[in-house]
Amino acid sequence: MIPFNKPPYTGRENEHILTALASGKLSGDGAYTAKCHEWFEHRLPCHKALLTPSCTQALEIAALLIDIKPGDEVIMPSYTFVSTANAFVLRGAKIVFVDIRPDTMNIDENKIEAAITNKTKAIVPVHYAGVGCDMKKIMSLADRYSLFVIEDAAQGMMSRYEDKMLGTIGHLAAYSFHETKNYTSGGEGGLLIINDLSFKERAEIIREKGTNRSLFFRGMVDKYSWVDIGSSYLPSELQAAYLWGQLEESDNINNNRRSIWEKYYSRLYHLKKKDFIDLPFVPDNCVHNAHMFYVKAKDLEERDALIKHLKDNGIAAVFHYVPLHTAKAGVVYGRFEGCDEFTTKESERLLRLPMWYGMPDEFVEKTVVGITDFYH
């Protein structure tokens, strides 16, 4: 069976994990965490980068930073992972779902304004497959209505919108280092990006259980104490050490994934020309990171038949999100604004293909042949 995913591994991780073990500092914010923070702040760039145990927790910190309260509304696509919504629901917000664009699977920037009310606090664009949302239009709306923008860039590390890296455009952003992402910190992991300097000090406090411990270690206060709400949002130093081994090879990982993506696209294009399938679309003003490769079948029935056909031929391919507004909790904690013209229909067509760093060419070819045989 060709697996759908293999966690990225470069070989450098072992050395760094052993070094971290020998350091006597395992609880977080050690030397490797500092290295990772510096790398992100320089490479992205941003005012502040803070590693978290998961992207979910980075989003939760963001919800605390913008002071989400019961009754507030947060706009986002329904086609996303549940953590995008949960981070704000936990603070009492009502989620307002907006339809997606069928070409990129991102939130339709032209339908956001109709969802804005006097209760709206934030917009959360999700950069699906590492392809940027129309951030120019979204930031313009946010400025006009005095709203916060929190980028869910879980899939977007190393991707660009125009001349900016995804995650560096909104007020705040969250990345994921789950084992299915381009880079991982040992299975789980996340990152909070702070682009609005006014959030910097409080983000450190919330991340440190509501204490000013970070200021204490920088010699800015004589002792540290409980000064705000917060929780335990520090990843272990072992997670940072594993991630550092990947950041050292970040360009090689990115180039390898782009190569695999291009092979899929060129080898499957003949089926697109015959209108059997649709392939991913990347706008001209975006540079993607080859986070995933997907195809779209005609409908749900055909998609499921294709999944079965590939499985029968030793290829693991999967569908992705079930739209949140159709879920039991989505009905309770959210509402869909306007017409669901594309969210459900397009989600039922989409099929993700095997994709990981170091995937052999013969696996790509076998997958392409499996899809071609299905349609022939």
Instruction: Give the pTM.
Output: 0.96
Q: What is the mean pLDDT of residues 81-108?
A: 98
Query: Both tokens of residue 28?
Result: 């977080």
CA distance readout (Å), 212 to 32, 122, 196, 230: 21, 27, 19, 11
Per-residue pLDDT at 221 exceeds 90: no
pLDDT for the residue numbered 217: 72
Per-residue pLDDT at 219 exceeds 80: no
Per-residue pLDDT at 222 exceeds 80: no
- Do you know the residue count of the chain? 376
Give residue-wise pLDDT tens across range 259-309. 999 999 999 999 999 999 999 999 999 999 999 999 999 999 999 999 999
Per-residue pLDDT at 69 exceeds 80: yes
* Mean pLDDT computed over every residue of the chain: 97
**Stretch among 26-30, 55-59, 103-107 having the lowest mean pLDDT:** 26-30
Query: CA 50 to CA 290: how far, in whole Å?
Result: 24
pLDDT for the residue numbered 128: 98
Give residue-wise pLDDT tens across range 315-351. 999 999 999 999 999 999 999 999 999 999 999 999 9
pLDDT for the residue numbered 220: 74
Query: Both tokens of residue 170?
Result: 């909104």
Per-residue pLDDT at 172 exceeds 80: yes
Strands (E), the chain: 48-52, 73-77, 94-98, 120-123, 148-152, 160-161, 164-165, 172-176, 190-194, 286-287, 294-296, 334-336, 350-352
Per-residue pLDDT at 223 exceeds 80: no
**CB-CB contact of 338 with 285 (8 Å):** no
Alpha-helix residue ranges (DSSP H) falling in 146-296: 200-207, 213-217, 237-247, 250-273
Per-residue pLDDT at 218 exceeds 80: no
Query: How distant is the alpha carbon of residue 351 from its chain centre?
Result: 18
